[in-house]
Amino acid sequence: MKGSYIGQAWLAIVLASAFGAALAGVHAGLGPRIAANRLNDTLSQIPALVPGAARGEAVEVAGRLVYRAVDAAGAPVGWVVPANGQGFADRIELLIGLDRDAARITGLYVLQQNETPGLGNRVTEEAFRNRFRDQAAGAPLRVVKGRAGGAGEIEAVTGATVSSDSVTAIVNGAVDRFRREKPGMP
């Protein structure tokens, strides 16, 4: 027994099993709460993303999860489309607000990012996100440096061209795809 593998490794085996069970317990206990945090983070943004929206309902469109924004009476007022793509440092997850016909962008929120603090992570600030508000969704948006003048132009964050480009590209891709796939409003 003393020289056998079990004699040598029994402690590791026992501990691994006990720790595995403990972690399973922690996950069972906290998992729903963590999932709820993520969902709340998403749902709590919906009124800010779509004007007049009181809450969101999860619906599946062409295999993808999107949220139908409804007003207090339950009438649909727009859409919130989750989208993600590569940023400068890591993946960026966005929520894009669209009006009823997905003709106009009504808001943008950054759900998750790891961009450079102080530069790239300023894409999370309202000043940048508001540049997307009220843009027409029909044509792709363009990033410009310096002051943006015309319609369809997004002014880049100073010192964060890659992050600005990434966010705009993710928005363009997701909006285009959603416009092709979206169901008619009831």
Partner 1 sequence: MSERKSDGPTPMERFIGGLLPENPVYRQILGICPTLAVTNTMEGALTMGLAAAFVLLCSNVLISLIRPLLKPHLRILIFTLTIATFVTIADRVLAAYLYDMSKQLGPYIPLIIVNCIIIARCEICASKQSVGTAAADALGQSLGFTLGLMSIATVREILGFGTWFGRWLGWRVIPEMAPAHWSNWVVMILPPGAFLTLGLLLGVFNALTAKKEKAA
Please report, as ranges, the residues that interact with partner 1 according to CB under 8 A: 8-9, 11-12, 15-16, 19, 22-23, 26-27, 30, 33-34, 37-38, 41, 90, 112, 114, 116-119
CB of 33 to partner 1, least distance (A): 4
CB of 97 to partner 1, least distance (A): 20
Nearer to partner 1, 112 or 172 (CB): 112
Give the Cβ contact number of residue 124 at 10 Å. Answer: 18
CB of 12 to partner 1, least distance (A): 6
Residue 27 Cα to chain centre, angstroms: 24
Specify the length of the chain in residues. 186
CB of 121 to partner 1, least distance (A): 9
CB of 182 to partner 1, least distance (A): 29
Nearer to partner 1, 29 or 186 (CB): 29
Nearer to partner 1, 112 or 161 (CB): 112
- Sheet with 91-99, strands from edge to edge, namely 55-61, 64-70, 76-86, 91-99, 105-112
Nearer to partner 1, 26 or 62 (CB): 26
Nearer to partner 1, 32 or 140 (CB): 32
Nearer to partner 1, 23 or 185 (CB): 23
The string of DSSP letters for 51-80 reads TT--EEEEEEETTEEEEEEE-TTS-EEEEE
Three-class DSSP category at 116: coil
CB of 36 to partner 1, least distance (A): 9
Distance linking the first and last C-alpha atoms of the chain: 72
Closest CA to 178 of 43, 68, 38: 68
CA distances from residue 164 to 47, 62, 86 in whole angstroms, order as listed: 24, 28, 11
